[in-house]
């Protein structure tokens, strides 16, 4: 008889499904390790940026380490820091006014050389605390710069600038006209002062001459029962009144000329709404009258 033999089943090898599972597990562990490393690096970078008060960059880093793929302790800490950074981060609302005082929207704003807003829409925008240089640019207008210091936690700070047309270059016709107008200020003031001084003797002569005429009418005039006033008294009163008229003319001329030199602008220098003055004089019985019409 032949001895009984034991049949041994062949050893089963690793199937394709098993190998694929191992590969996926290894890849998953590598992904988890990479995510953890990125979360740690983002958390450390955020802390350093917070110390430098670079809050905008710190918030970006904190949003990376606050993701669900990060380990729970790191994610919780980053979420808490993100809340603190948002509370400390200041913000600005920038606006611009045109030459008429209206809001200008087609204005491009820069903060420290970086585009801050392509259009002024009244929205609040975050900035880091500290000193900043704002620059505003609009088509056809000279740029405007403002240097500001923004405090930590200062929210919605309003910054308003005026966008005005450029000043005329030196030597332009309008500049020369304006300069010549300013050069007439001193002669105008002198002429006006002479006119004002002339009103003093004018008033005294008129008062004295009028009083003499009144005295003669009540004392020696035929209408008052007198035989007639002496010729020297009549001549004296007449002379006083004539000289009073002369000083009145000097006063009117001086004041009028002074006003013209000080207030009147040349046509090229006068703009809508600018100061303008029109003087008129006409003769009247016993003297003359002066009128003025102006726009200020």
How many CB atoms within 10 Å of residue 111?
Answer: 19
Average pLDDT over residues 262-281: 50
Q: Which of 99-108, 230-239, 267-276 has the largest mean confidence?
A: 99-108
State the residue for tokens 């006209």. Answer: 177
How many CB atoms within 10 Å of residue 69?
Answer: 14
On whether the CB atoms of residues 255 and 197 are closer than 8 A, the answer is no
The DSSP H or E segment spanning 246 is helix 231-263
Average pLDDT over residues 208-226: 77
Average pLDDT over residues 123-142: 94
Residue 218: what pLDDT?
81
Average pLDDT over residues 112-130: 94
Average pLDDT over residues 208-212: 86
Please report the domains of the chain, with CATH numbers, ordered by start residue. Answer: 17-88 (no CATH), 91-162 (2.60.40.1120), 173-295 (no CATH)
Average pLDDT over residues 99-122: 93
Residue 77: what pLDDT?
94
- The answer to whether the predicted template modeling score (pTM) of the entire model surpasses 0.85 is no
Residue 4: what pLDDT?
52
State the residue for tokens 């602008």. Answer: 265
Average pLDDT over residues 255-280: 58
Q: How would DSSP label each residue in 106-128?
A: S-EEEETTEEEESS--S--EE--
The DSSP H or E segment spanning 93 is strand 91-97
The residues, ordered by sequence, that sit 6+ positions from 149 with a Cβ below 8 Å of its Cβ are: 130, 131, 132
- In tens, the pLDDT along 133-192 reads 999 999 989 999 999 999 999 999 999 999 988 655 555 554 444 455 555 677 778 877
Question: Roughly what angle, to the nearest 10 degrees, separates helices 185-219 and 231-263?
Answer: 160
């Amino acid at each position: 008889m032949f001895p009984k033999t034991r049949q041994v089943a062949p050893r089963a090898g690793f199937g394709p499904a098993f190998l694929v599972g191992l590969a996926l597990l290894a890849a998953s562990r590598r992904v988890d390790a990479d995510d953890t490393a990125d979360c740690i690096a983002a958390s450390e970078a955020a802390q350093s940026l917070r110390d430098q008060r670079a809050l905008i960059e710190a918030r970006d880093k904190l949003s990376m380490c606050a993701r669900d793929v990060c380990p729970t302790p790191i994610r919780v800490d980053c979420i808490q820091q993100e809340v603190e950074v948002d509370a400390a981060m200041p913000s600005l609302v920038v606006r611009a006014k045109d030459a008429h005082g209206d809001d200008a929207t087609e204005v491009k704003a820069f903060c420290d050389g970086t585009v801050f807003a392509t259009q002024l829409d009244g929205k609040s925008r975050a900035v880091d605390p500290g000193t900043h240089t704002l620059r505003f640019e609009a088509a056809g207008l000279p740029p405007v710069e403002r240097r500001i210091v923004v405090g930590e936690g200062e929210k919605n700070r309003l910054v308003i600038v005026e966008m005005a047309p450029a000043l005329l270059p030196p030597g332009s016709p309008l500049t020369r006209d304006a300069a010549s107008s300013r050069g007439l200020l001193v002669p105008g003031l002198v002429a006006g002062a002479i006119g004002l001084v002339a009103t003093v003797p004018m008033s005294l002569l008129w008062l004295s001459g009028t009083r003499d005429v009144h005295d003669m009418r009540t004392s020696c005039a035929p209408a008052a029962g007198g035989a007639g006033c002496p010729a020297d008294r009549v001549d004296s009163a007449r002379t006083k009144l004539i000289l009073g008229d002369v000083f009145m003319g000097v006063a009117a001329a001086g004041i009028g000329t002074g006003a013209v030199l000080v207030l009147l602008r040349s046509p090229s220098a006068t703009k809508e709404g600018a100061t303008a003055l029109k003087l008129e004089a006409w003769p009247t019985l016993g003297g003359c009258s002066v009128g003025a019409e102006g726009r200020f």
